[in-house]
Structure 1
């Protein structure tokens, strides 16, 4: 029986994960997931693709939505939520060409990051309705946080085991699931069966599976050290699980609003929740 075996959120895009035992689900993703991101001067997202060391910064969310960021050296930074009502600058954020309005944090935050990571600034997505999911994959009204493109990413332990077996054939060590930065980790499936999922139930909540996740260089970065580790897993995926010119691993999900539920909170997912595949189809696109 498939079960939810892992649950992760990333308060600041590309920073270190949090792994709670349960999480509220909102239409645009897990509550608190990727509502903040670092951006360059032009508003474009800065991630581990450019700065692998970003993964060593840890961000904790307070109840009021503010952050406590801790550097790899242990230096703390408290970041209040920037508010347009109190004069926070409104800027344009950009995640791979998807542009949206965001609020910039105060100058002392920019200076703190500039000393450590260069000329970046920290943005907050105060309006989660500001960024629609790509029309080719989402329905009207679907929105996403500052994640790459979709509200949630699910992976399966069976597919990771298959991938690790391919790498072992070439003499490479096994990789942990954290390399893929998922939100939901599901155990008890067949390898790669998620490629054909269409709808699934995780505990009390339904999700639409809309696209396979094309992987990037971040998967070659050790999430515990921030160091690049060579060609894997991209080499194995490109050779044996490549679709639409993408090395694919994991499936992107969009939450379905339950009947009668209003407001931002759709429900809660918990470790150990049963996972039921409600509909399957042909392999999903990867691009």
Structure 2
């Protein structure tokens, strides 16, 4: 039995996350307080997606639902309110996220100016359209279809608390500081399983809900960025590399599992929820 201890959404891809006590589970990811996970994304003028890999200061942009708007906060900036209501007049802009081209809704010049000032680099904010579907790769799902919004590849990222605890023990043994969970930007954190046991879970279930881990999450340098300051520091990948290189991903250094929704879309997840664990062996 596992216990869901944290639920997190990232309304704008690669900007600050928000922890919630409950969220609706959708095939495309989590939804809470009127916003979806990775519903918005920053892009260059030519539509290339941006992340903390290039702009660590994205960690300092905090989007939060506020009534009928999404309130943006960033250092040295006045708050920006972005209406949550959909506008049929919003211009469509083709954007690229990894190998996918998506027709997204541009959020306007004033919003672009605010985010450009916050990052110190020209950018625009786009929104994932209500009716759009971005399919996930079926290479890792045994042919089972799924979908996501502006996440890297899958609708949910799962990490076991014990996995981070084990990494932190190794970091401390090497004379390094322990890291908080927010460095790894999960959607779901569970306790009650062994370190890295999420690698071997076939399904987490509760009632009619089924969450299926499908692909190990290969890590980039973002875990080196302090999410409270936006300042890069020591990269934990050198420690992880000594024991978490995965030959199934050409030696990618992995922590956490990308997941799809097997059943229960539309149901509510909440912290404290107990989940049955079915292992894949």
What root-mean-square deviation, in Å, do the aligned CA atoms of Structure 1 and Structure 2 show?
A: 1.8
Q: Tell me the alpha carbon deviations over residues 219-252 of structure 1, each in whole angstroms, 9 at most, x when there is no partner.
A: 0001111110122x11111111110311100011
1:214 aligns with 2:218: yes
Picking from 70, 74, 78, the partner of 1:71 is 74
Structure number with higher strand proportion: 2
- In structure 2, C-alpha distance between the alignment counterparts of 1:136 and 1:60, rounded to whole Å: 34
Q: 1:248 to 1:81 in 2, by over 3 A?
A: same
Contact 1:14 1:55 in 2 (8 A): yes
- Cα 1:144–1:178 change in 2 (3 A) is same
Contact 1:198 1:209 in 2 (8 A): yes
In structure 2, the CA distance between the partners of 1:106 and 1:92, relative to structure 1 (3 Å rule), is: same
* CA distance 1:83–1:3, change in 2 (3 Å): closer
- Report the Cα distance in structure 2 between the residues aligned to 1:240 and 1:180, rounded to whole angstroms: 17
**Which of 182, 198, 203 is the equivalent residue of 2:186?**
182
Partner of 2:100: 98
The alignment partner of 1:207 has SS state of strand
Checking the alignment, whether the CA contact within 8 Å between 2:77 and 2:118 is kept in structure 1 is no
- Aligned residue number for residue 261 of structure 1: none
Gaps of 5+ in 1: 259-264, 282-287
Superposed counterparts of 1:171-250, under 5 Å: 171-202=175-206, 204-231=208-235, 233-243=236-246, 244=249, 245-250=251-256
Match of 1:251 in 2: 257
| Contact 2:160–2:191 (CA under 8 A) maintained in structure 1 | yes
Q: In the alignment, which residue of structure 1 is the partner of 2:49?
A: 45
Superposed CA deviations along residues 169-188 of structure 1, whole A, max 9, x for unmatched, are 21111111111010111011
- State whether structure 2 residue 126 is matched by structure 1 residue 120: no
Seen in structure 2, the aligned counterparts of structure 1 residues 158 and 206 have a Cα distance that, compared at 3 Å, is same
Whether the 8 Å contact between 1:152 and 1:253 is mirrored in structure 2 is yes
What SS does structure 2 have at the residue aligned with 1:55?
Answer: helix
1:159 corresponds to: 163
**Is the Cα–Cα contact under 8 Å of residues 138 and 145 in structure 2 kept in the other structure?**
no
The match for 1:16 is 16
Summarize the Cα distance change of 1:164–1:217 in structure 2 as closer, same or farther, 3 Å threshold: same
In 1, Cα distance between equivalents of 2:211 and 2:275: 11
1:204–1:269 Cα contact (<8 Å) kept? no
Deviation at 1:83, TM superposition (A): 4.8
SS in 1 for 2:134: coil
- Normalised by the length of structure 1, the TM-score is 0.89
